[in-house]
Structure 1
Amino acid sequence: MTGFISILNQAAGGNRVLADGLGPNVLSRLDRDILSHSGVQYVLIFEGVNDIGVAEANEESQKIIGDRLIAAYTQIATRVHAHGISIFAATITPFGRRKGEIVIDAEAEGFSPYSDPLREVTRQRINEWMRRTEVFDAVIDFDKTLRDKDDTSILAKEFDSGDRLHPNAKAFKALADAFPLHIFRSSISLN
């Protein structure tokens, strides 16, 4: 590949795809953050953990949030493709707690309160859908890169910032090293 790719990082901490969180949701800011800029060729979406994590930890709520996320990812990809832009998705990274960790008040003890087996089912469902769908031009498996080899529901210890949810600096280096740069060459322009 010759030339350079400039990056515009429109990440927002605590962000969600479907509902406002610490800032506006992805669906409402897609035009402002991506489609209104000239020269955009690629989009990477790495979102969804907060949607899953704040939805109630019961089967019905998790089924609904999973269905709505899949519909939203499809809508986002359709809108991005309509502008001739390639879109890549990154799988949702683990946020479970290690076996044997007894936590009375997760937030007070510095752990993510997202950990729940029903939320893990939704995370796995979304990731499997991403890996199998043809909605995106490529899928980057951040989950596979950062997960523990013996327990795929948790971050590997070396990549955990300490709260079982947020990757540390070493994790971001691992993601950069594992990023498949060939997708920029093989991505077909939709113009």
Structure 2
Amino acid sequence: MYEYYYKTQDYGTCLTECDGEGEEAILPADKNILIVGDGVFKGHKELVHVELPDTIRDIGGFVFDGCENLKKIKLPSNLKDFWQYAMTRCGIEEIEIPGSVEQIVSFVFNQCNQLTTVRLNEGTQKIFAWAFKDCVNLTDVYLPETMKEISDKAFEGCPNVVLHKINADSNV
């Protein structure tokens, strides 16, 4: 079980750290958390499942770094930004990214060796260089019609990745 610590600023509330351990981390929806601060869950190898409330707009750097058993994460529907290395070296196998995330910046999913499938929703427009660097098992990336730019280095170190264009009317 985790105990959470917050800091409130003019812009809103930031989750700054957590104590404890457990397979599941469900952040409270009643705290109006806007940002998950850098490294909050870093190295929590026991973590398997995370649920983030829809109030969260930003996931900081290295938040899930080294969470090698993290298999399931519910991202906020209004998420705007992942910071660099937010999900690096975690055990996520599949992820659906809400369309409110307009761009996937460099190294967000760096060395996510278990990652096989990524679904980007309508609204996402750009994938930067090395966003999915060395995700060696990544095979399927589903791209929305809103995608405008993908760096030629976005999937460096992903030898078997296949990009699938989806349209807003399909369920692929």
Higher relative contact order (CA 8 A, sep 6+): 1
Highest Rg: 1 or 2?
A: 1
Structure whose residues are more often strand by fraction: 2
Q: Name the TM-score, length of structure 2 as normaliser.
A: 0.30
Q: Name the TM-score, length of structure 1 as normaliser.
A: 0.28
